[in-house]
C-alpha cells in the first residue's frame, strides 16, 4: 500500500501546467478550494476548448455543408476536420464510419432504432450486461417491447467483473445483438471487451460498445477491437456538451435506414420519393451542433497531446492510491473491486446515506456524485439504493485524494 502522496508516480506530462489549463479548477466553493471528482458525469474543459468555441461564435460562425460563401466554407472545413480527427483517434477505417450525434445516448438509440428495428424480430434476443448505464438498457427494452423480443442479461461477480462463462451460455440462434459497456461508470470496471466481441462474432452476432467512460482514460482502436459499433460523448472527453460519436462499420451503416428525416440527410426530394445522402450524412439530419463539433477536435487534440498511455498510467496509479487511502477509513466499503479498473471508486460509509455524505463533502469543496448513477439494476444487484462515487481525470492529484479522505472522515464523524 502507498503511505504518502509523494509515492504516486509522476505523470508523463506536466501536471502543474495541465491544471493551469483548466480554469474551473482554480476557484473556491463555500470558501474552500474546489476538488472536482465528478468526472464520470462530465469533465471540465481546458482553456483551448473554451477559446475555440468563443472564436467560432465571434468570428467564424455560419451554417455548414450547403453555403457557398466564405464563412460557410470555413465552418464546413473545420467541422469536417473533426470527423477526420475522431476517425484517427479511434482508428476507424474511414470518416464515412463516423456519425455525429448529440452524445452516447443518442448514438445507442440510433442503432436500436435502425439496425435493431430491421434485424430484431419476434422471439429474438439481445444481450446486455448487469452493469449497463440506463442509456444502454432502455433503448433495447423499447425495441424488445415493440418487436416481442427478449433482453438477456450477463451476470457479474460480487467484485464487479463480467461472468464470461455465463455470457457464453446466453448465446442462442435467436441472439441478434450484443450491447456492452467498455468501462462501468459506477464500478470503474474495465470489461474484457475484446474477448466478448470475439465470442459474439463466433456466433455471428454484431456488438455495440458503450465507450462513454473509456475514451478519456484508455487508448481505443475500433479495428483492433473488431466491434461493429462504438459510441462516446464529447463532454466526458473534456469537450463541449451536445456532441457525440457513433462509429459503425461502413457496410452496416450503409445497409441501415435513416434515423431521422430532414435537411442534409437527403440527396433528392420529390413528393413521390426521397433518396438519401451518402455516409455519414445519411444519419445527420438538420443543422448540427457545429460549435460543439469543432470544439471536440480541440479537446481530442489536447488529450492526444498528453498521450493516452501517459494518462492511463497516471490515472491507474492515482486510483490505487485513492483506493488504499479510502480503505483506511473505518466503516468504508468500496463497491466494485475488479482487478482491471479505471476512473471511478464507488463506496459506502456504514450508518450513513450517500446523499448525506455527498452534501457534507460539498461543504468542504469536494464534488462527488451520489445516487444510483443511472445504473439502478446494478444497485439492485448489490442490494443498495446508491453509492458515493469519486471519479478521476488526469488533472486530479494526490492532494485531491487527501482532501476527499479528510472530508469523508469528517462526514463520518458528523453523521455518527
Burial string for 306-335 (b: 16+ CB within 10 Å, else e) reads bbbeebbebbbbbbebbbebbeebeebebb
Q: Assess contact for 393 and 315: CB atoms under 8 A.
A: yes
Rounded to a whole number of angstroms, the distance between the first and last alpha carbons of the chain is 28
CA 122 to CA 135: how far, in whole Å? Answer: 23
* Sequence-distant (≥ 6) Cβ neighbours of residue 59 within 8 angstroms: none
User: Which residue has cell 428495428?
Assistant: 117
E strand residue ranges, 12-145: 28-29, 32-33, 35-36, 98-101, 125-129
Q: Assess contact for 41 and 329: CB atoms under 8 A.
A: no
DSSP letter for each residue of 36-73: E-BTTT-----HHHHHHHHHIIIII----SS--SHHHH
CA 376 to CA 30: how far, in whole Å? Answer: 31
Options 144, 227, 231, 374, the catalytic residue: 374
In 3D space, the residue among 183, 35, 45, 34 whose CA is nearest the CA of residue 104 turns out to be 183
Whether 144 is a known active-site residue: answer no
Residue 339 to residues 15, 20, 225, Cα–Cα distance (Å): 26, 33, 20
Alpha helices by DSSP H, listed for 307-387, are 308-326, 354-363, 376-382
Q: Please identify every residue annotated as catalytic.
A: 374
Amino acid at each position: 500500500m502507498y503511505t504518502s502522496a509523494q509515492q504516486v508516480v509522476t505523470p508523463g506530462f506536466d501536471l502543474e501546467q495541465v491544471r493551469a489549463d483548466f480554469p474551473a479548477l482554480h476557484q473556491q466553493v463555500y470558501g474552500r478550494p474546489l476538488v472536482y471528482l465528478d468526472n464520470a458525469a462530465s469533465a471540465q474543459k481546458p482553456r483551448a476548448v473554451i477559446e475555440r468555441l468563443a472564436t467560432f461564435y465571434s468570428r467564424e460562425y455560419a451554417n455548414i455543408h450547403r453555403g457557398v460563401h466564405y464563412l460557410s466554407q470555413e465552418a464546413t472545413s473545420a467541422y469536417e476536420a473533426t470527423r477526420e480527427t475522431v476517425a484517427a483517434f479511434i482508428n476507424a477505417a474511414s470518416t464515412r464510419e463516423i456519425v455525429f450525434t448529440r452524445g452516447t445516448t443518442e448514438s445507442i438509440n440510433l442503432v436500436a432504432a435502425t439496425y435493431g428495428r430491421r434485424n430484431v424480430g419476434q422471439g429474438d434476443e439481445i444481450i446486455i450486461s448487469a452493469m449497463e448505464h440506463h442509456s444502454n438498457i432502455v433503448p433495447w427494452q423499447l425495441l424488445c417491447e415493440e418487436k416481442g423480443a427478449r433482453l438477456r442479461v450477463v451476470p457479474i461477480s460480487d467484485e464487479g467483473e463480467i461472468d464470461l462463462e455465463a455470457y457464453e451460455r446466453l448465446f442462442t440462434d435467436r441472439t441478434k445483438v450484443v450491447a456492452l459497456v467498455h468501462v462501468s461508470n459506477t464500478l470503474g470496471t474495465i470489461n474484457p471487451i475484446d474477448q466478448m466481441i470475439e465470442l459474439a462474432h463466433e456466433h455471428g452476432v454484431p456488438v455495440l460498445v458503450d465507450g462513454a467512460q473509456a475514451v478519456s482514460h484508455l487508448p481505443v482502436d475500433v479495428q483492433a477491437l473488431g466491434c461493429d459499433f462504438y459510441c462516446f460523448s464529447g463532454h466526458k472527453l473534456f469537450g463541449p456538451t451536445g456532441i457525440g460519436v457513433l462509429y459503425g462499420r461502413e457496410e452496416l451503416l450503409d445497409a441501415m435506414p435513416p434515423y431521422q428525416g430532414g435537411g442534409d440527410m437527403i440527396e433528392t426530394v420529390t413528393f413521390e420519393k426521397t433518396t438519401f445522402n451518402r455516409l455519414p450524412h445519411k444519419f445527420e439530419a438538420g443543422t448540427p451542433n457545429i460549435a460543439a463539433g469543432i470544439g471536440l477536435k480541440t479537446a481530442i487534440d489536447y488529450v492526444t497531446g498528453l498521450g493516452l498511455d501517459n494518462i492511463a498510467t497516471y490515472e491507474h496509479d492515482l486510483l490505487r492510491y485513492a483506493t488504499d487511502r479510502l480503505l483506511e477509513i473505518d466503516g468504508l466499503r468500496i463497491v466494485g473491486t475488479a482487478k482491471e479498473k479505471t476512473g471511478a471508486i464507488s463506496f459506502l460509509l456504514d450508518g450513513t446515506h450517500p446523499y448525506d455524505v455527498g452534501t457534507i463533502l460539498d461543504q468542504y469543496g469536494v464534488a462527488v456524485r451520489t445516487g444510483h448513477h443511472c445504473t439502478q439494476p446494478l444497485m439492485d444487484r448489490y442490494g443498495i439504493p446508491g453509492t458515493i462515487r469519486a471519479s478521476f481525470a488526469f488533472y486530479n492529484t494526490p492532494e485531491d485524494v487527501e482532501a476527499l479522505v479528510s472530508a469523508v472522515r469528517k462526514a463520518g464523524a458528523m453523521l455518527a
